[in-house]
């Protein structure tokens, strides 16, 4: 049987080679009639896109990189990253892509990774998780080089970068508004790092909720954390003398650290201090007082990032695309909603 290529299928069906590639990879933005015509030609000619042959024909490796801003130890202890990686790897399998993982905690590690990522033929594109401590050096370098890239999380300077995120301001505002509506007057927050957009945005949502309710802002009730359980514990130590009635923690894992401190101090959740977290990862169920939290679609972040990256590889990196995904407030026992309703 003769060997058929994407170009052969394109000539037979009267469409471009890129359209055939989109059909082969099951990508969107192909008219259904065109998709059927291409699939019929593929079946008729017995065309099977062999990975090595496809790389030679298209000058693509069918390999994408994932760059995470963490050490290997933190990667396995923070549940956010395994769930994000799960979504990405599942989507890679669906689209016949190979995934390569890079962990870069420091600028020096990013400088070591960049030449490998930028090498012609190694990767078709990259997905980068925005760091918790400001915009990342490697993102700017890849944008300058025109490498197809999707960033998970908004950057401080994101005008020329394609990214996927949630509306952190609005989501945090809804979490704090929920506590205010339950009647809590002294509501504090454990924020993310002030050098990150997620930390800034979730603090802004907290401030907006209090301002909209006509409540004053108290610096003693706003303590910076670092998205770790130990950071949540330390932040609660600092906040406790201000006697908060409720706390919005900018991540579930920080909320659990804060709750551990309260229990060591002989206080109860939610009877003495109510809590709302952020993420809704499985650890939200580990505590006796199950965590009320903002659910963000972490696994879906991964799958959408792969789809967007493949579109950038196929269609070009300009104009940059931005996708904002939905969140949801999940009410459980830690906010004290059922106790408050019983007293009304």
pLDDT digits (tens, 9 = 90+) for 116-137: 777 656 788 899 988 665 567 7
What does the pLDDT look like over 197-220, one tens digit per residue? Answer: 999 999 999 999 999 999 999 999
Pairwise CA distance, residues 80 & 279, whole Å: 8
Quickly count helices (H) and strands (E) in the chain: 14, 12
pLDDT average, residue stretch 151-155:
89
The pLDDT of residue 24 is: 73
Residue 74 is encoded by which pair of tokens? 């933190």
Question: What CATH code would you report for 6-58?
Answer: 1.10.260.40
Centroid of chain to Cα 294: 14
Same CATH fold, 168-296+329-343 and 63-166+298-325?
Answer: yes
The full set of domain ranges for the chain reads 6-58, 63-166+298-325, 168-296+329-343
CB-based contacts of 293, cutoff 8 Å, min separation 6: 175, 252, 255, 276, 277, 278, 279, 280, 284, 329, 330, 332
The pLDDT of residue 124 is: 86
Which CATH class, in words, describes the domain spanning 168-296+329-343?
A: alpha beta
Fold of 63-166+298-325: Rossmann fold (3.40.50)
pLDDT average, residue stretch 296-316:
91
54 vs 38 pLDDT, higher one: 38
The pLDDT of residue 81 is: 85
Select from 262, 243, 198 the least CA-distant residue to 224: 198
330 vs 52 pLDDT, higher one: 330
pLDDT exceeding 70 applies to what percent of the chain?
85
The pLDDT of residue 235 is: 98
pLDDT band at 59 (very low <50, low <70, confident <90, very high): low
pLDDT average, residue stretch 266-287:
86
Full-model pTM: 0.77
The pLDDT of residue 56 is: 41
> 5-9, 151-155, 226-230, 250-254: which range is least confident on average?
5-9
The pLDDT of residue 168 is: 96
For the sheet with 246-249, list strands across it. 222-224, 187-191, 246-249, 274-279, 292-295, 328-330
The pLDDT of residue 2 is: 47
pLDDT average, residue stretch 267-286:
87
- The three-class DSSP label of residue 164 is strand
The pLDDT of residue 57 is: 45
50 vs 110 pLDDT, higher one: 110
66 vs 133 pLDDT, higher one: 66
Distance set, CA 77 to CA 73, 82, 249, 259, 286 (Å) = 7, 9, 18, 18, 15
The pLDDT of residue 109 is: 82
Pairwise CA distance, residues 123 & 62, whole Å: 7
The pLDDT of residue 313 is: 87
Q: Look at residue 189 and tell me whether its pLDDT is greater than 60.
A: yes
Q: Report the mean per-residue pLDDT for the chain.
A: 85
Q: Look at residue 88 and tell me whether its pLDDT is greater than 90.
A: yes
Q: At what angle do helices 51-58 and 6-13 cross, to 10 degrees?
A: 70
The pLDDT of residue 55 is: 44
Pairwise CA distance, residues 115 & 117, whole Å: 5
Q: Look at residue 105 and tell me whether its pLDDT is greater than 80.
A: no
């Amino acid at each position: 049987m003769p060997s058929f290529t994407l170009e052969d299928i394109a000539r037979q069906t009267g469409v471009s080679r890129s359209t055939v590639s989109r059909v082969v990879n099951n990508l969107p933005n192909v008219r259904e009639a065109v998709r059927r015509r291409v699939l019929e030609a593929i079946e008729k000619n017995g065309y099977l896109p062999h990975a090595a042959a496809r790389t030679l024909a298209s000058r693509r490796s069918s390999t994408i990189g994932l760059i995470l801003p963490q050490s290997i130890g933190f990667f396995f202890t923070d549940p956010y990253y395994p769930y994000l990686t799960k979504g990405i790897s599942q989507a890679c399998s669906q689209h016949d892509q190979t995934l390569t993982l890079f962990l870069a905690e420091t600028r020096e590690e990013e400088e070591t990774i960049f030449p490998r990522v930028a090498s012609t033929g190694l990767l078709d594109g990259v997905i980068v998780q925005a760091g918790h401590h400001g915009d990342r050096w490697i993102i700017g370098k890849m944008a300058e080089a025109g490498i197809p890239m999707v960033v998970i999380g908004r950057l401080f300077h994101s005008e020329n970068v394609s990214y996927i995120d949630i509306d952190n301001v609005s989501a945090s505002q809804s979490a704090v508004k929920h506590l205010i509506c339950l009647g809590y007057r002294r509501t504090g927050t454990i924020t993310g790092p002030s050098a990150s957009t997620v930390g800034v945005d979730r603090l802004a949502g907290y401030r907006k909720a209090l301002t909209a309710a006509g409540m004053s802002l108290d610096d003693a009730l706003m303590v910076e954390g670092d998205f770790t359980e130990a950071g949540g514990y330390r932040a609660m130590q600092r906040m406790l003398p201000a006697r908060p009635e409720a706390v919005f923690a900018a991540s579930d894992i920080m909320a659990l650290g804060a709750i551990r401190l309260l229990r060591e101090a002989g206080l109860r959740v939610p009877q003495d201090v109510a809590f709302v977290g952020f993420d809704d990862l499985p650890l939200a169920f580990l505590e006796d007082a199950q965590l009320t939290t903002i659910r963000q679609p972490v696994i879906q972040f991964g799958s959408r990032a792969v789809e967007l990256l493949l579109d950038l590889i196929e269609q070009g990196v300009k104009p940059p695309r931005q996708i904002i995904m939905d969140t949801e407030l999940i009410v459980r026992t830690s906010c004290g909603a059922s106790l408050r309703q019983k007293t009304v």
